[in-house]
């Protein structure tokens, strides 16, 4: 995060999206989930995580029996997390 803080906001966002894309393609899912969560907290309305988890589900998703045989489980969970965290960020006084 220190590297991202010294960059301009647009280039930091592009760099973070590229790192998240690489983690989705080559790393275990939990690494991508942690990176996406940190990026959603750090950046305002980080919709790139939702799009990249859609890509993840389209590439690697299989129907889950516990989620009514849906393929796009991480996509829908990332949408919910994005909405919840954006609401929480607006409620916090110290968050810009």
Closest by CA position to 50, among listed 41, 59, 60, 40? 40
Q: What is the spatial distance between Cα 47 and Cα 66, in angstroms, rounded to a whole number?
A: 26
User: What are the Cα distances from residue 76, in Å, to 28, 50, 56, 93, 94?
Assistant: 19, 8, 12, 28, 28
Asked if residues 71 and 57 have their Cβ atoms less than 8 Å apart, the reply is: yes
Going residue by residue through the chain, which has 96 residues, state the pLDDT in tens, using 9 for 90 and above. Answer: 555 566 678 888 999 999 999 999 999 989 999 999 999 999 988 999 999 999 998 888 777 777 677 778 889 999 999 999 999 988 886 656
Q: Does residue 76 lie in a domain region?
A: yes
Q: What is the pTM of this model?
A: 0.81
- Number of structural domains, the chain? 1
Enclosing domain of residue 64? 2-91
Q: Does residue 27 lie in a domain region?
A: yes
Which tens digit of pLDDT belongs to each residue from 80-91?
A: 999 999 999 888
Q: Does residue 96 lie in a domain region?
A: no
């Amino acid at each position: 995060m220190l590297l991202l803080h010294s960059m301009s906001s647009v280039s930091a966002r592009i760099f973070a999206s590229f790192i998240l894309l690489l983690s989705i393609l080559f790393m275990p899912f939990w690494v991508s989930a942690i990176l996406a969560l940190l990026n959603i907290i750090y950046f305002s309305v980080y919709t790139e995580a939702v799009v990249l988890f859609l890509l993840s589900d389209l590439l690697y998703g299989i129907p889950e029996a516990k989620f009514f045989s849906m393929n796009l489980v991480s996509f829908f969970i990332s949408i919910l997390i994005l909405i919840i965290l954006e609401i929480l960020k607006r409620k916090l006084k110290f968050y810009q």
